[in-house]
Amino acid sequence: SCSLSPGTRFGRDVVVAPQTHFRGANSIGEGCRIGPSALIEDSQLEADVEVTFSVVRQARLARGSTVGPFAHLRPGAVLGEHCKVGNFVEVKNSRLGSDVKASHLSYLGDAQLGRGVNVGAGTITANFDGTGKHPTTIGEGSSIGANAVLVAPVTLGRDVTVAAGSTITKDVTDDALAIARCRQVEKKAWRKPADPPSGAAAVNPPKQGSAGLAGGE
């Protein structure tokens, strides 16, 4: 079943799939496909937007954008034309330019993303420092590697590449590669520690005064 609020307006040729709910005042453009299992609340969707298995609250989605499955657009989320917000992506109080892609497992909060930015899986904008929220700005054409953390406030220029696994705490200039992670170390011919003899203690307690895990006096 579906539920429709009195304040929702639909354009032509909109398809509403089962278990989809509209609350508050919504504007749904022509040719949109909503659901199954979607919640749209106080939001504006332009033509040809697709939302599946997702929650959209107080957001604006431009023409041809796709959301879901299992995405969450919170208040203040603004998507440009032909954006993709995919599986388990949360967007809050952020503006995404046209052709931005955040396809998997990311959090974008208090952020501004320019046209054509690609957000790798697991990317986080760390916007809260314990007392206040701070902005992240990513210039157009930039690519953010998987499992990157952008610690706000921070600004990335145009056509920036962030290496996977990096934690970015400083601004990055245009056309730069930012790497912020430890180098991989490989120990050749590594042998695992031998198992203790049968009946022996698996862990020998540190001697008094040693710098073992138990600490010293």
Distance CA 94, CA 21 (A): 24
**What value, to the nearest 5°, has the Cα angle with vertex 129 and ends 128 and 131?**
95
Q: Which of 72, 82, 104, 134 is catalytic?
A: 104
SS3 letters for 195-206? CCCCCCCCCCCC
Residue whose C-alpha is closest to residue 174's, from 215, 217, 213, 137: 137
> Does the annotation count 21 as an active-site position?
no
The bridge status of strand 33-34 relative to strand 72-73 is: unpaired
Distance CA 84, CA 67 (A): 6
Largest CA distance in the chain: 80
Contact 154, 168 (CB under 8 A): yes
Distance CA 180, CA 117 (A): 20
* Residue 145: both structure tokens together: 């590697």
Give the residue numbers annotated as catalytic, written as ranges.
Answer: 104
